[in-house]
Amino acid sequence: MNQDEVLKRLKEGNERFASNNLNGNLQDDKRRSELVGGQAPWAIVLSCADSRVVPEVAFDTGLGELFVLRVAGNIANTDTIASIEYAVAHLGTGVIVVMGHESCGAVGAALAGGDNGYNLNHLLAQIAPAKAQAGSTDVNVVVKKNAELSAKDLYDRSSIIKVAVDEGKLKIVTAFYNLGSGKVDFL
């Protein structure tokens, strides 16, 4: 599939999910057997770790179709970037979706400030640029800005990703997941 076909497939899968019409394909023992020898995911999704946001379900995909990384606040940190580099360089995946979501708790915590302990403070510090650049204290506005900046970080901090984008082999898009409807808005 080319990049436009991948995005179309993601949108169609999300439409099925949002309309309660999941097809549930590629989730059985036959599919597991097909994947024993390797994987060839057609999209990468960097998403929040929030339990309400499950990319494989939200896009109505099966085993082996998405390469998903989940971390609070959908942060492009060293580990998520390295994992994405693997999928780009070794699996040939050509689309990255950086997906934030409505009412993100990590973004809310970054907006609230305060001392949340060493590890969480470290994670929330990575959301600070979105907080500073969003021009708003509305959590959903900051979530969208954070997805945009995480996508930019993928490009800026990885020569593997940058070269693939510049050569037209990779496309990075941002998205916003609406909790109540299940609809994904591509930004």
pLDDT tens digits for range 119-130 = 999 999 999 999
Compute the residue count for the chain: 187
Confidence of residue 25 (pLDDT cuts 50, 70, 90): confident
Structure confidence at residue 170 (pLDDT): 98
Q: What is the rounded distance in angstroms from the CA atom of residue 39 to the CA atom of residue 59?
A: 18
How far is residue 57 from each of residues 61, 118, 166, measured CA to CA in Å? 6, 33, 31
Residues 39-93 have pLDDT tens digits of: 999 999 999 999 999 999 999 999 999 999 999 999 999 999 999 999 999 999 9
Q: What is the rounded distance in angstroms from the CA atom of residue 173 to the CA atom of residue 34?
A: 29
Assigned token pair, 76: 């492009």
Domain residue spans in the chain? 3-186
| Better-scored residue on pLDDT, 17 or 26 | 17
Work out whether strand 95-101 and strand 66-70 pair parallel, antiparallel, or are unpaired: unpaired
Structure confidence at residue 95 (pLDDT): 98
* Fold of domain 3-186: Beta-carbonic Anhydrase; Chain A (3.40.1050)
Q: What percent of the chain has pLDDT over 90?
A: 97
Confidence of residue 175 (pLDDT cuts 50, 70, 90): very high
Report the b/e string of 48-87 with b at 16+ CB within 10 A: bebeebebbebbbbbbbbbbbbbbbbbbbbeebbeebbeb
| pLDDT surpasses 90 at 24 | no
